Structure formats: structure tokens, C-alpha cells
Amino acid sequence: MSTVSETRKPRRKAAARKTSSAKRVKSQAEAVVSRSEVLIIGAGFAGLGSAIRLRQQGIDDIVILERATDVGGTWRDNTYPGAACDIPSNLYSFSFAQNPDWSRSFSGGSEILRYVHHLADHYQLRPLVRFEHNVESMQYDEQQGVWRVQTSKGLFEGRSIVMAQGPLSNASLPNITGIEDYQGHKIHSAMWDHDYDFTGKRVAVVGTGASGIQIIPELVRKAGFVKVFQRTPGWVLPRPDFETPGWNKALFRRLPASQDALRKALYLFHESVALGIIWDTPLTGLVERIGRMHLRMQVKDRWLRRQLTPDFRIGCKRVLMSSDYYPALQKENCKLITWPIARLSEKGIRTVEGIEHQFDCIVFATGFDVSHSGTPFPVTGRDGRVLGEEWSGGAQAYKSINVSGYPNLYMTFGPNSGPGHNSALVYMEAQIDYLVRGIQTLRERKLKALDVKPDAQRAFNRDIQRRLAKTNWNSGCKSWYLTEDGFNATMFPGFATQFARQMAEFDMGDYTLSPV
């Protein structure tokens, strides 16, 4: 396991670059566009939720930097056919801003985006947002106790920073040999081309993860023929998606406590699933039997079932939820390809056994550039240290939210805060409440800086990695949860209740306090 970031010394070349960068930032100090108490990066769920909670505590001097032209984050960007959440809508929402009018038990992406827009409008957050401001770099001024954030449209200063850009914000085409040679149409799931007409077209779908299994049924309904290129079969569980009756919505509106009760029941159910997903327990076998039964009931062909049967423990990779993926694969205009891809050619895809499959369009459902060991833009802390370089052996933080040497900087969905079984927004709320307490402490105690101690960070990560070693995520398979050398910088090894309890404790003894 790599040593924690705060014990490393900056490299000489890096230090030289930082000196140059510092001079550049200082030369621009007179051209600061805005100075605020809190700068939030990203106007998705986490960024808007942070702004709401900060305002509720009387902290109003907030600026939100957003690179796009509207709020929404992941749900603004992912508009592919079939986009939906695999967590029930009543749980995939903020507890302090529940929506009684969800149309389905598992709402689609467009409805979730409308909910995000509602948050921005109801809480009057849009005036705080600076749209089309792409963050290019961040640097901490230790003398002034402020962060300077360089964007595509100017320099901003903030006493505290909330990095809420999210882990699923950067998408790119995969690194496949010959990808530039292909002359047909290319689409990434997170950059969907709504002008392209799939009617009657020969289409390839590369990837059978969470987005792939949602896209495939929709394409099979419209395209002439679809070939699905699968590298590894995943565990698929049924998704009980039902339309919400009118009386149910009326009940939630008139008696909010009824929706609270449903949310609590859903939360507890998902917490129980952790016993089968996170660790290898007797319940793990039960959940796997449910997955195999789902496969057996929906796929009658034995050979196809064999191709779709995972050879790894459930939970090692992301568990998928779908009730229409398996039926789509068995349609006459769909075929599953399990031979590995050798390269792309001018007209299609060549697999390792020498066959060239020709297509009008290739859809890449290959996920996101989830960074386990870097940052989306340069982040420079105390003494010229660079966060991306310190994370080169795997990202680490204190309670997923602070990093020693980077004062007054808070992350949502930082290292080891990923949920494997429950709603991401449950984890997000706990992080938001924690960062609000930190920013309040800075204000109330009139501090210049609040910086987590290296020993506290080191002890926290030592415990996290010890616990992760006993989980299914670290049981041997390859997944986007892990770095190339097997370091898990993504998931939290426990119940959502444990994560919330961890974030509920703000131990001032774990921080170095610097007075103004």
C-alpha cells in the first residue's frame, strides 16, 4: 500500500512548476472576478445540496462555478435512451427536499433532472451559479488563507472550497486500437447524439455495464440489428419498476410522514443488502441465487446463459439492475459477442478470432474517467504540493472529505466514499453536513485555516484499507473501483449508517487550527 500523501516531499520539478504557477496567479491577483466565503465547483446534486445547507446555516456568500450552461451534473449530461437510476426514487433524493410526485418507483433520467432543476429554482440558487466557467486550476495562498481558482473566464477567490464536480463527470472514448480508423458514426453514452436516427441501422454496443444494459433494450426496439460486445458478464438483479398511482402521490403530499416512512423502509432494505454485497456471508450466496434465478427465468438458451453467467463473487464489480436487458439480447435483431475486440477497422470491429463485424454506428457504453490517482485539474496546496502527484499511488483523504496540506478544502465523493448497496445521496448528505460544520467552525472561531493533521489522515486510511481487504470488492476481480495495481480508492467498506455516523463526528483534535 502506498504511503499517505502528506508524508511525501514535493518533487523538485513539481516545486519549480509551482513557483512559476504561484507567480502567474499573483500577477493576476488584481484581476480577481469575485471574492466569496465559499466557492463550490459543480452545480449537480452535491453542489446545489451544499449551497442549500450552507444557506440554511446563515452562510450566504457563495459562488458556484459550473462549466456547462445549466445545472444538473451527471443527469444533465447523460441523456442516452433508457437512462435511469438503479436506486428507488424516494431514496435517490434529498431527505430535506423530498418529491411526492415521482412518476415511477425507479425514475428515468429526465425526471431526475427535473428534480435537480426544482432544487435550483425552489431554493433560488441560479443567481449563485457562474455558468460556462470551467475550472482550470486551484492554488492555496497560505499567507492570505484563501484559495485562488483560475477558470476559463477569470480568477475567483474563496476562503473555503467545495469540490463537488462528481466522480462521473468526465467521459471519453476508450483507448481501442484503430478507433480513429473507423469511418462510421461514433457515440459515447455520456455524449449522446440525439440527431442520429438508428432506424434500420447496424449498431454495435461496446460495454455491458450500468449504462450499457439500459441502452441496449432501447436500441433493439429501433435499430435494424444490434451486436453487443461483452468483455465480462455482470451480476444482474431484477428491477421492480412500477408506475406510481395517483392516490400514492396524493398521500405523500397530504401526509409527508408517509413518504418519510417509505424512505426509511427502503433505506433499511438496502442496508440489509450490504450483508450480501460488501462481504462474503451466507446472504451473499442467497443474492447470487436470486441473480442466477433471474437469469434462468429470462434466458432459456443454455449456451447464452453460460455466456451471461459471472465467474466472480457478487459485489466484486458493480451489481446491475434490469428486467429488460436479458429479453433484449434474445430478440431476433440482437446478438451477443463475447470474443475480445482486437481493433476497430474502417467499417467496424475486428475480434481476435479474425472476424470483422461491420456497422453504421458504434455506441461506446464504456463508462467514465473515474480518477483513483489524480484530480480533474491541478490543485496546489501548502508549500507547492500538488494533490494529483501525491495521489499518484492512489487517492487518500481523511473521512473522504479533507486532505492534509490543503486547508479549507472539502470534497464530496472523495476517496473511499463510494456506496455499493445504498443511495449515493445518503452518503452525499452526510458529507454536506460535515463540510457545513467545517465552514461554520472557520467562521465562528475566526480561523484562517482548518487543516487535518497528517497523523489523523494516516490512521484513518490505515483502518479503511484494513477493512477493505475483507470485502468482495478486493476479492480478486478487476473493476473500476480499483487502480491498476489493485488499490481501492473508491468504496467505503461498511454500511451507510456507519458512514453517516463517521461523518456526524467532527473531531477538532484531528485538525490544526490557524488563527487569523
- Which pLDDT does position 477 carry in this prediction? 83
- The rounded Cα 167 to chain-centroid distance in angstroms is 4
Average pLDDT over residues 436-450: 96
- Which pLDDT does position 11 carry in this prediction? 39
> Domain 185-243+248-364 falls in which CATH fold?
FAD/NAD(P)-binding domain (3.50.50)
Domain at 5-71+125-170+370-515, CATH class:
alpha beta
- Which pLDDT does position 289 carry in this prediction? 97
- Which pLDDT does position 340 carry in this prediction? 96
7: pLDDT confidence band, cut at 50, 70 and 90? very low
164: closest CA among 75, 266, 65? 65
- Which pLDDT does position 15 carry in this prediction? 44
Q: CB 484: neighbour CB atoms within 10 A?
A: 8
- Which pLDDT does position 201 carry in this prediction? 98
User: Sheet containing 348-351: which strands, arranged edge to edge?
Assistant: 341-344, 348-351, 356-358
- Which pLDDT does position 3 carry in this prediction? 33
DSSP E strands, 113-255: 129-130, 135-141, 146-151, 154-163, 185-188, 202-206, 225-229, 236-237
With 0.85 as the threshold, say if the pTM is over it. Answer: yes
Cα(202)–Cα(225) distance, integer angstroms? 5
475: pLDDT confidence band, cut at 50, 70 and 90? confident
314: closest CA among 279, 338, 348? 279
- Which pLDDT does position 369 carry in this prediction? 57
Name the helix (H) or strand (E) containing 358: strand 356-358
367: pLDDT confidence band, cut at 50, 70 and 90? confident
- For 28-48, b/e burial (b = at least 16 CB within 10 A) is eeeeeebebbbbbbbbbbbbb
Looking at 290-299, 415-424, 482-491, which range is the least confident one? 482-491
One fold for both 5-71+125-170+370-515 and 185-243+248-364?
Answer: yes
Helix (H, G, I), strand (E, B) or coil at 502: helix
Residue 18 has pLDDT above 50, yes or no: no
- Which pLDDT does position 248 carry in this prediction? 97
H-only helix segments in 335-483: 387-390, 424-444, 454-468
Contact 139, 148 (CB under 8 A): yes
19: pLDDT confidence band, cut at 50, 70 and 90? very low
Residue 76 has pLDDT above 50, yes or no: yes
pLDDT in tens, 92-128: 999 999 999 999 999 999 999 999 999 999 999 999 9
- Which pLDDT does position 6 carry in this prediction? 32
- Which pLDDT does position 169 carry in this prediction? 57
Cα(82)–Cα(5) distance, integer angstroms? 40
59: closest CA among 50, 68, 67? 50
Q: Which residues are registered as beta bridge partners of 64? A: 40, 129
- Which pLDDT does position 254 carry in this prediction? 97
pLDDT in tens, 132-167: 999 999 999 999 999 999 999 999 999 999 999 977
Cα(50)–Cα(215) distance, integer angstroms? 32
- Which pLDDT does position 482 carry in this prediction? 86
Phi and psi dihedrals of 118, rounded to 5? -60, -45
370: pLDDT confidence band, cut at 50, 70 and 90? low
* Domain ranges within the chain, ordered by starting residue: 5-71+125-170+370-515, 185-243+248-364
Burial-class residue 437 by CB neighbours within 10 Å (0-12, 13-18, 19+): middle
For 418-438, the three-class secondary structure string (H helix, E strand, C coil) is ECCCCCHHHHHHHHHHHHHHH
pLDDT in tens, 300-325: 999 999 999 999 999 999 999 999 99
The dihedral through the CA atoms of 89, 90, 91, 96 has a sign that is: positive
Q: Average pLDDT over the chain, rounded to whole?
A: 92
Cell matching residue 153: 473566464
- Which pLDDT does position 1 carry in this prediction? 33
- Which pLDDT does position 200 carry in this prediction? 97
DSSP readout, 241-260? --BPPHHHHHHHHH-HHHHH
Average pLDDT over residues 232-239: 96
Cα(376)–Cα(351) distance, integer angstroms? 33
> What percent of the chain has a predicted confidence (pLDDT) above 70?
92
Amino acid at 393: G
Cα(171)–Cα(124) distance, integer angstroms? 30
pLDDT in tens, 381-390: 999 999 999 9
DSSP E strands, 207-318: 225-229, 236-237
431: closest CA among 507, 512, 504? 504
